[in-house]
Chains A and B, each alone.
Chain A
Amino acid sequence: MAYGTHRVVTNVGFELGRGKSLALIGESGSGKSTIARAVLRLLPTTGHATGRVEFDGQELLALPERRFRPFRGRRIGFVPQDPGNSLNPVRTVGAQAMEAAALLDEPDKALRKALVLETFAQVGLDNPQRVYDSYPHQLSGGMLQRVLIGLAVLPRPSLLVADEPTSALDVTIQKRILDLLSKLQEELKISLLLITHDLAIAAERADSIVVLKDGAIQESGNTATVFSAPSSSYARKLHGDVPALNPDRYRPLREPGFRHLSANREKTPKIEVSGVTKNFTVDGKVLTAVNDVSFDVQAGTTHALVGESGSGKTTAIRLLLGLEQPDTGKIAVGGEQVNGRSPEQLRSVWRHLQLVYQNPFTSLDPTWNVEKIVREPLDRFKIGTHQERALAVRKAFADVGLGEHLLSRKPAALSGGQRQRVAIARSLVLKPDVIVLDEPTSALDVSVQADIVEVLLSLQVKLGLTYIFVSHDLALVRQFAHTVSVMQRGSIVEHGTVGEIFDTPRQPYTRSLLESIPSGAARFARTQPLQQRQIFNEEKIA
């Protein structure tokens, strides 16, 4: 398969039995969606596929478009990757559902509608009629994903292609959707081609697995076999990089932090947040984003903030950085008060307090080259001579494991992992005491994530840095942090050391968070954190 002259998937072959499920896994850009679309012949006009795709003994690729169309929807259903974009925004959900219903051999329109409503109920939508009358933007991501699954199964296809059906969703919803898919698959005897980059999901849900890298198959076979005895080196590395599978992978690197934790118990903590509350007024309504939050962080340790989307994690750290002013409460970093200061007065605080953003790309000016980007804080804070600055930049570059040949590139010419390392290097070059990391790896693949986590931890050991770490990914938190605060709807519901929280959670909310990690975690654990891409975009645009 190729887009234009650019070949992206080579020589891929697999089989999926009736009523069985197959998981297609691989890192981002490995060609998973391309394969899904090729099966449905939905590649954009620039793309084309060669080879054979057989369905029920029928060759699909060679069929003329007109003859292929009856297959779509009716016999092969498709659940897209991104629920937010997959329904026409200017038509009601119902109108689009009726299109799917039109594929049934049911002439009566009223009956068709009844079927649609029934399907909506079946996929767990509480109020089918309301959903039917809504426009897509009036529904949440989870509801939309359920609608899409409903639309896909409504014409009773015999094959369902689900392209990362949950990657845009919250941990808790993710589990419900996957359960739903499994249930439908069983009830309706549908074959499921499940595409995911989440090893844990694949382990839990699929009968067999195909591992993809750079458009080529690395390994395929029965799920259990692939997991217990991975034959390719790539699969093995993948295996090793999944946090949930290796909770203690970085134990040696984290030891010093734990020592600081116990040693410094009595000293003033590096970061003190006490009684902080922040309200936003939206459309006349008051929204409490952060509610009476308090936590301390000892120097040289990592504190994690976890919680589902919208629970106030980002707001909390923006308050910490002084980018927002709290309504009540006090914040101090390294003994200096942060709240109540103007940006000019905060300059001295920022000198020792840096932030790494969730999205590595948007935090780098696309018109600057990397060297200039990394040097910017030195220039701004007027640190050192010209030569010293150039040297510092090179050193920070080496620290995060980037080669000097990248210095003259612009961000667009770097991969996601490289960009995030540039962002980290930019924070490091100032030699700050505290680095705040807002989901620094959520946009990255497990392998890249593992590299970055390692870099961060070794730097912590080397330089005695203090981290605040925001994440959805509990497994990663367990690998990386020393202490944890669990946030729900703006408040901290539970906090303690990693061991305390993960082994003996006291709050039901914490327990539900931990449970929603795919149960395959028992054997293989879960990997990839949630991607909040859609929601993130929405917020930026509005």
Chain B
Amino acid sequence: NVTPALAEDGAHDGGDVVFLIDSLGDTWIPNNSAISSFQGHIWGHVTDKLLYVDADGKVSPWIAERWEQNDNATEFTLHLKGGVTFSDGSALDAAAVVANLDIWYAGRKSEGINPIGLFPKTYDHAEAVDATTVKVFFKKPTLGFIPTLGYHGSILISPKTIASPASSQADLSKTSGSGPYVVESWKEGDYVKLARRKDYNWGPAAVGQTGPAHLDTITYKLVSEPSLRVAAVQSGQADVAYNASPQELESLKSEGLTVATPRYLGFVNGWAVNTKLAPYDDVKVRQALQAGINRQEIIDTVYTPDWKLATSFIQSNVPGATDQSALLAYNPEKAEKLLDEAGWKKGADGVRVKDGKPLLLTLNSNPYLATSKSIDELISQQLGKIGWKVDIRAYDVVTYGQKVKYGGAGVPAYEVTRSFIDAGTVAGILTNANNGENWFALDESDKTLNDLRDKIAGAGSIEARRPLLDELQKYVLDQGYFIPRTQIVQRIYVQSPKLKGEVYNGVAYASYYTATKSE
């Protein structure tokens, strides 16, 4: 199995890679951990998916060689590659896929195995037609099903593992996937060491390689201090440092290290505004907020030019994203004018007041994004100039999960960092219809939005959906429902120049399946 990459560089098989990571997450039960920003790296090497989604959101075959769907997108047929096996020896056949689909949808809640959150709730059931054909049935049209199969939650696990109890699934070494690597050893909160699977030969064609991986082992080692991770790579003690501090990237590049800042598919980093909470129920205030943020300064100060200005509230690489930059330009004069119009007058201390109340914005910094606090501080300075008083709060992950919710009391702006594969997902967050997430706390009050939502959800084809999405983006930003900050780079990789050829998928995980390391 000669791959083009190898031939070009003259590099050879073999090599060990140490990847320094800031956390190894919590449980290893596949369903509960597959979407973890940390464990996702390991799952990406240990397991395969039915489809491959590349960095631009393009869907291509992987374990599923072909697929078909009926006209209203309620029935799908998947045709699987033959000869694929899990590392425990069992076959990755139609029955195995059905078992996976079932557990993705339902989990085993009594045991603590959760469903995969973003797996379509409209799933009805799946049938193994023959060893390589699976038919999947939905209760309602589900256009997002196919892209979801390339989503990081949808990892294929051996049916034997799926059948085992949760406490056994929690032991990573007992879980079998079909990926190019297997878990050689691991220790909770310490490291996971992966070893190459020699008989692997069903890689996704889209990455230009289908045979076994080149690197012998990949060790994911937990080092929680960002500066230590980077320094270890600088001093040659490790090969990759995950989540470095953006400020350091420029100098690291100049030292010859490879810096990768792949963007994932999903929403940009920004706020979903709570329109129920005064004064953000006033469109003028929201628009002032939209115009009062200097997004370029955020990139200049907190980030580097690797970060992109937000052009919409979804990342610009998502198919269907359109450029709304005009709506997001920094215009403090306009913001002040809007606030004046809305009746917020500047007081002596520079803070605007209306009816004796100060113009207050409470920000709950996102604990998952290291730079969040800095950005909040910077924005607080920017808004301060036009008369806003900004309060920043910081919680730990658990408390944040408890206190900070969309439309929560005390949460005027919920900070979003969220990936998705299919832009159609957007319809599900706008209102509370059909179990929607109701990000803006609008319920059913905004006719225009309801209308757009229904049309997008009901669209039978991508082409029909595209103009609707454009209209939606314009509307949401103009109304100031969503205040983008920057396009998000949630994953930053600082890598030794010896390591080459890694691939980033649609959710920005690095895969070293194709990578090689020179001596």
**A and B touching (C-beta < 8 Å)?**
no
Residues of A whose CB lies within 8 Å of any CB of B are: none
**Interface of B with A (CB < 8 Å)?**
none
